[in-house]
């Protein structure tokens, strides 16, 4: 498979347009027509990962954290040069993979045995648009189908969502036009349907093209308006339920065991070590900024990278299980998903990976 084809596949899982504006995702080393037959999945592209990829003849690394994050003025980094020399490409799937339904937090919820009930935050890098197009009744189904295929009409866990109203459209075709209905210079009143739908910014170009390709009019009346809210399909962090409630300390032990973490840090927020927990908020990676979103909605919040003061101020019990261990589960999930597509993949082994990231002495 070519990298360009693989990127299309990965974009279905985690559209690059969902990444936040400060992020850097997508193809970072290599060319779209390079082959991707043997893929290594990792959270980070460290020098050890580069050496491992060269030694084991991988031709693509998919990393959660961007390999190239800050802009660079020259290509003198030995790790970049080594990868380029061996024709090993790098793709980053970062905040786009954090916010999708089958992404980082979904994998974490699965490992922790949670039944997902909601999201913590609607934050993504995408803008949501309301679209509206006027169509003659005979063409409505064909046009609606085309824009749905192009990605419009997805709202949360529903797709093909639209609103249709019978309307009367008016127009007068001016000189030089080729009207589909009526004659030049004549004021027309026609039956039309207004098709309304929602579309995420990363599908907007495809939807505009679908309208241009499938609408019978020379100049369709079509409007897009940015809305204030975001698509509930995407967002950071999840809330889920345990089958059976546990004592807070027992749950902390359970998290440590399930994530294979060397330790976890528990902040009880004065709730008592034996308080019962059943509704769990989670955010893989650095979730400190979501503590306020989890407060009042869950019995405990599991994340990584919580700083001292954020912890002290938290009114919800916290389990700090580490950035690395709360995100590692997505690699196994990606591995399974890609193997189902007959793509040769493997995960950079936990023991090799964690030594680079968490040298505990």
**Which parts of this chain interact with Zn ion (CB under 5 A)?**
98, 104, 285, 327
Q: Between 299 and 327, name the residue whose CB sits nearer to Zn ion.
A: 327
What is the rounded distance in angstroms from the CA atom of residue 142 to the CA atom of residue 224?
20
Q: Are strands 238-247 and 128-135 parallel, antiparallel or unpaired?
A: unpaired
**In the complex, minimum distance from the CB of residue 316 to Zn ion, in angstroms, rounded to a whole number:** 21
Q: Between 98 and 299, name the residue whose CB sits nearer to Zn ion.
A: 98
Number of residue whose CB is nearest Zn ion: 285
What is the rounded distance in angstroms from the CA atom of residue 68 to the CA atom of residue 54?
18
Q: Which helix (H) or strand (E) holds 62?
A: strand 60-63
Q: Between 44 and 200, name the residue whose CB sits nearer to Zn ion.
A: 44
Instruction: List alpha helices for the chain, DSSP H.
Output: 3-13, 47-55, 78-85, 95-99, 104-111, 140-149, 204-214, 248-259, 291-294, 308-313, 323-327, 329-340, 350-357
Q: Which of 31, 24, 29, 25 is nearest to 2 (CA)?
A: 31
Q: Between 214 and 320, name the residue whose CB sits nearer to Zn ion.
A: 320
**In the complex, minimum distance from the CB of residue 105 to Zn ion, in angstroms, rounded to a whole number:** 9
**In the complex, minimum distance from the CB of residue 283 to Zn ion, in angstroms, rounded to a whole number:** 9
CB 26 within 8 A of CB 92: yes
Q: Between 49 and 104, name the residue whose CB sits nearer to Zn ion.
A: 104
Q: Between 90 and 104, name the residue whose CB sits nearer to Zn ion.
A: 104
Provide the angle, in degrees to the nearest 10, between the axes of the packed helices 204-214 and 140-149.
150
Q: 263: which 2 tokens?
A: 């330790």
**In the complex, minimum distance from the CB of residue 323 to Zn ion, in angstroms, rounded to a whole number:** 5
Q: Which of 254, 241, 246 is nearest to 298 (CA)?
A: 241
Q: Helix, strand, or coil here: 316? A: coil
Q: Between 151 and 285, name the residue whose CB sits nearer to Zn ion.
A: 285
**In the complex, minimum distance from the CB of residue 75 to Zn ion, in angstroms, rounded to a whole number:** 25
Count the helices and strands in the chain (H runs, E runs).
13, 15
**In the complex, minimum distance from the CB of residue 182 to Zn ion, in angstroms, rounded to a whole number:** 55
User: What's the burial of 2, exposed, middle or buried (CB within 10 Å: 0-12/13-18/19+)?
Assistant: middle
**In the complex, minimum distance from the CB of residue 37 to Zn ion, in angstroms, rounded to a whole number:** 27
Q: Between 268 and 335, name the residue whose CB sits nearer to Zn ion.
A: 335
Please give the DSSP secondary-structure letter assigned to residue 203: G
**In the complex, minimum distance from the CB of residue 259 to Zn ion, in angstroms, rounded to a whole number:** 14
């Amino acid at each position: 498979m070519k990298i360009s084809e693989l990127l299309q596949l990965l974009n279905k899982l985690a559209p690059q347009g969902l990444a936040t504006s400060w992020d850097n995702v997508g193809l970072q080393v290599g060319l779209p027509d390079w082959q991707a037959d043997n893929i290594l999945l990792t959270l980070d592209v460290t020098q050890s990962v580069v050496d491992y990829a060269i030694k084991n003849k991988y031709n693509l690394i998919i990393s959660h954290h961007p390999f190239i994050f800050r802009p660079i003025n020259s290509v003198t980094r030995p790790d970049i040069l080594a990868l380029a020399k061996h024709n090993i490409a790098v793709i980053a799937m970062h905040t786009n993979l954090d916010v999708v339904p089958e992404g980082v937090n979904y994998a974490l919820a699965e490992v922790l045995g949670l039944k997902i009930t909601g999201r913590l935050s609607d934050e993504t890098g995408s803008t949501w648009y309301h679209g509206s197009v006027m169509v003659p009744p005979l063409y409505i189904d064909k046009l609606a189908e085309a824009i749905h295929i192009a990605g419009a009409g997805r709202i949360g866990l529903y797709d093909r969502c639209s609103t249709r109203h019978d309307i009367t459209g008016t127009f007068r075709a001016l000189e030089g036009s080729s009207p589909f209905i009526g004659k030049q210079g004549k004021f027309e009143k026609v039956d039309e349907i207004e098709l309304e739908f929602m579309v995420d910014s990363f599908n907007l170009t495809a939807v505009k093209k679908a309208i241009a390709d499938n609408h019978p009019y020379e100049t369709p009346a079509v409007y897009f308006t940015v809305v204030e809210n975001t698509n509930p399909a995407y967002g950071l962090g999840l809330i889920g339920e345990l089958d059976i409630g546990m004592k807070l300390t027992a749950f902390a032990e359970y998290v440590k065991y399930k994530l294979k973490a060397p330790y976890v840090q528990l902040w009880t927020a004065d709730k008592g070590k034996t308080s019962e927990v059943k509704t769990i908020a989670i955010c893989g990676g650095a979730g400190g900024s979501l503590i306020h979103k989890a407060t009042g909605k869950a019995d405990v919040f599991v994340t990584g990278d919580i700083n001292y003061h954020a912890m002290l101020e938290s009114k919800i019990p916290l389990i700090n299980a580490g950035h690395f261990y709360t995100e590692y589960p997505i690699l196994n999930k990606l591995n399974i998903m890609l193997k189902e597509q007959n793509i040769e993949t493997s995960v950079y082994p936990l023991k090799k990976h964690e030594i680079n990231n968490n040298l505990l002495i």
